[in-house]
Structure 1
Amino acid sequence: MLHLRLITPPDRTDEVVGLVEKTVGTTHLVVVPGAARNPQGDVVMCDVAREAGDELVGSLRALGIDKCGSIAVENIDLSLSTRAQQAADDAPGEGADAVLWEHLTDATHEESTLSLTYIAFLTLATMIAACGVVLDNAILIVGAMAVGPEFGPLAGLCTAMVRRAPRLALRSLIALLVGFAIAMAVTVGFSYFMDWQGLFSDAQLAAERPNTNFIYRPDAFSFIVAVLAGIAGTLSLTSAKSGALVGVAISVTTVPAAANAAVAFSYHEYKQAWGSSEQLLLNLLGIILAGTLTLLAQKWFWSTQRKRGTKSSPSGT
């Protein structure tokens, strides 16, 4: 269940209440006249089944409540109520499958912002992966994958294409390109420093490296795994199962490929650098393609569910 807290101008409250009451899957409606001070207005609160949340929020935005008042949405971890259970049963579909498009857009907007924190995490992850590829240490590679924040901008690109949001697409693309460019440039300098300290060497990079040579040897499985990871990552975002994102992060070879390309470039190993770059591009392309198609499939599925719910509602009343 979701909890909505709305601030509405007094002359719009009846319209908002009417909208909430006619939306299938809502319950626990509370109206507190004149309670809001900034902005001034009435406070309207209700609970709504997750599978009906996107429809209700979209309708409220169509009324302009986000401009003249406020719309706040939060998850309810526990609701002991027969009315809440009935509301969830009445709403079409399953809550675990529901997509809150406004929440997804807002979340990806934040995650795809080119910030100092984002650059720091991506750079640190690339430097950790650089140590992993030189030492042929799979544990360091996995750790670098988990630290990397690059799935945020990738999800932002997917969301932007489905929602037709050019600003989000541009923001995500900038975060990806600039972030990886800075991370790889810093890693080149890091490689020079480690070589100067005698900790990195050309011989280590040119060795067979059985645990990590897949990074600069892309094949069909590179793209297949990226596609599967893109589907899993998108589903974890839309279903609020964020724990699955860790598994996604350690499934794709984006950060390690960038690291291997940077170290190989510093040693003039251009064949490895190109292979790693190809691996990076394959993974990025696979995730974006799979994520976009997954969101389109979910959008189609939920539009079908709504149509079925609309057709069945007259007979159910």
Structure 2
Amino acid sequence: MRLVQVFVPSGDLELVLETAEETGVDYAVSEQTSRGEFEALVSVPVPPAAVEPFLSKLRDAGLDEESYTVVTAAETIVSSRTDELTREFDGTRISREELQSRAADLAPAASTYFVLLVVSTAIATAGLLLNSAATIIGAMVVAPLMGPALTASVGVVVDDDALATRGVVLQVAGLGVAVATAAVIGWALRGTVLLPPGFDITTVPEISERTTPSVLALFLALGSGVAGVVSLVRDVGSVLVGVAIAVALVPPAATAGLGIAWGHPTVILTAGTLVLVNLLSINLTALILLWLSGYRPHRTERVDHAYGRLRSRVVVLLAAIAVLSLVLGGVTYGTYQAAAVEHDVQAELEAMSDDPAFEDLSFREGNVDYEPIDVYTGGQPSVIVFVERPPGEQEPPDFADTVRERLEAATGTELEVAVELVDTQRSE
């Protein structure tokens, strides 16, 4: 339930009471004895779904917009009369005015926002370098990215230019700060005793996950956008939703920053693409869902203008996502091809171990060096094969060529194969 309190300007009391009667809600009137600008305070308990219709009728009736109308959440109302009101005003979403107010509150002051973002990025960067998923998730609790992501969309839908601009600026500047923070931390740590000698960020699984993104990564961003809007318009807990949105943005942004620190263009490109696709996808889903939820500017003549802006932004976002998704699709295909070669090599080596033609030889995969980028640059896969043999045994003639031919036939790809023979003796 909500408690709507209207500070009634002098001469407008009858207008407010008639509107309450017309809406079918209960009210109580308290005489005001302040400076004389207001003659009464009208308190109206209503379900959340009734707030917007009541305020719209007050506005249409001509209530002075310079007056105060305060909407507060009522923790508990003890009355059987609320049941009838709830049945009459059925719905789960909050009013446009509450939505606008909550969105503004979700975007904190710039100083607070950037401090929390720097702290969150620093923790996430440490988690990436340590390959610690728990540390990365913990950093997301601190990240304040949910507010700006939703604020921009709310501003467009309700035709609040200041709110929309603030949301966009905070998002863009915030991600820039996140990338820069990770780059500075990476540069400061590189070559120190805190990281092993010759440390390569591309070998860290948590970082590699952000540098080989799949098209399926879009589901996290799209789902986060949907969850963010639902949590906002239905006034439910948003902490976990904020974590989901931050997970889609901060770790890839930090990965891009580490790519800058280590001078890896591929890391910068793939992680940067992922963070941009996620950012645009969250904004796209938020815009569409807020409009479909029925939110509009309170001035009827501004609805068409808001719809035009919404439509143009959706078109731009879709086009940008489509272009960036080509990179994701390319990475997905390259990753699949590289994994397919490794799988086929492993399967063929197992088959060769069971082949009587090789008698007591046992084949083991040592290493397959084939990256997704090699699929497009024409790089040749390099395979190291370990072969165990009993002491004193001799390998067949042209053994390395035979192994290479078998593996090439299995993978359908030209390979560079190195065979390392190991005399092996096992205890009984």
TM-score range, shorter chain: 0.7 to 0.9
TM-aligned CA distance change 1:20 to 1:136, over 3 Å: same
Contact 1:195 1:201 in 2 (8 A): no
Aligned to 2:8: 8
Aligned to 2:267: 272
Shift in Å at residue 209 of structure 1?
2.5
CA deviation profile, 1:74-128 (whole Å, cap 9, x unmatched): 111211101122111121x23xx22311111122223335510000111111111
Question: Is residue 19 of structure 1 aligned with residue 13 of structure 2?
Answer: no
Question: Is residue 179 of structure 1 aligned with residue 177 of structure 2?
Answer: no
Q: Which runs of 5+ in 2 are unaligned?
A: 297-428
Q: 1:43 aligns to what SS in structure 2? A: strand
Q: Which runs of 5+ in 1 are unaligned?
A: 302-317
Amino acid at match of 2:57: S
Distance in 2, matches of 1:265 and 1:191, equals 8
Distance in 2, matches of 1:202 and 1:181, equals 29
Aligned to 2:338: none
Aligned to 1:126: 121
Shift in Å at residue 177 of structure 1?
1.4
Question: Is residue 210 of structure 1 aligned with residue 202 of structure 2?
Answer: no
Aligned to 2:359: none
Aligned to 2:417: none
What does 1:107-126 correspond to in 2, within 5 Å? 107-112=102-107, 115-126=110-121
Identify, as 1 or 2, the structure richer in helix.
1
Shift in Å at residue 166 of structure 1?
2.3
Shift in Å at residue 182 of structure 1?
2.3
Q: 2:216 aligns to what SS in structure 1? A: helix
Contact 1:36 1:42 in 2 (8 A): no
Distance in 1, matches of 2:40 and 2:287, equals 39
Distance in 1, matches of 2:95 and 2:148, equals 18
Distance in 1, matches of 2:36 and 2:150, equals 34
Aligned to 2:190: 195
Distance in 1, matches of 2:36 and 2:277, equals 49
TM-aligned CA distance change 1:114 to 1:219, over 3 Å: farther
TM-aligned CA distance change 1:46 to 1:115, over 3 Å: same
Shift in Å at residue 216 of structure 1?
2.2
Sequence identity, in percent?
A: 22
Shift in Å at residue 197 of structure 1?
4.3
More moved, 30-39 vs 146-155:
30-39
Distance in 1, matches of 2:197 and 2:97, equals 50
Distance in 1, matches of 2:284 and 2:104, equals 19
TM-aligned CA distance change 1:64 to 1:139, over 3 Å: farther
Question: Is residue 163 of structure 1 aligned with residue 163 of structure 2?
Answer: no
TM-aligned CA distance change 1:87 to 1:266, over 3 Å: same
2:96 to 84, 97, 101: 101
Q: 1:77 aligns to what SS in structure 2? A: coil
Distance in 2, matches of 1:211 and 1:51, equals 44
TM-aligned CA distance change 1:196 to 1:58, over 3 Å: farther
1:78 to 46, 71, 76: 76
Question: Is residue 52 of structure 1 aligned with residue 50 of structure 2?
Answer: yes
Amino acid at match of 2:184: G
Amino acid at match of 2:58: L
Q: 1:299 aligns to what SS in structure 2? A: coil
Distance in 1, matches of 2:120 and 2:110, equals 15
CA deviation profile, 1:191-249 (whole Å, cap 9, x unmatched): 22233643246844434323442222222211122111111111001111024x41452
Distance in 1, matches of 2:170 and 2:101, equals 16
Aligned to 2:421: none
Aligned to 1:137: 132
Distance in 2, matches of 1:287 and 1:156, equals 12
More moved, 159-168 vs 62-71:
62-71
Count how many residue pairs are aligned between Structure 1 and Structure 2. 295
Aligned to 2:228: 233
Q: 1:67 aligns to what SS in structure 2? A: coil
Amino acid at match of 2:190: D
Aligned to 1:304: none
Distance in 2, matches of 1:108 and 1:51, equals 18
Distance in 2, matches of 1:38 and 1:138, equals 61
TM-aligned CA distance change 1:62 to 1:200, over 3 Å: farther
Contact 1:129 1:140 in 2 (8 A): yes
TM-aligned CA distance change 1:90 to 1:272, over 3 Å: same
Amino acid at match of 2:231: S
Distance in 2, matches of 1:66 and 1:276, equals 51
Q: TM-score, normalised by structure 1?
A: 0.85
2:285 to 283, 290, 299: 290
Contact 1:134 1:204 in 2 (8 A): no
More moved, 212-221 vs 129-138:
212-221
More moved, 98-107 vs 61-70:
61-70
Q: 2:127 aligns to what SS in structure 1? A: helix
1:259 to 254, 262, 286: 254
Larger Rg: 2
Relative contact order, higher structure (CA 8 A, sep 6+): 1
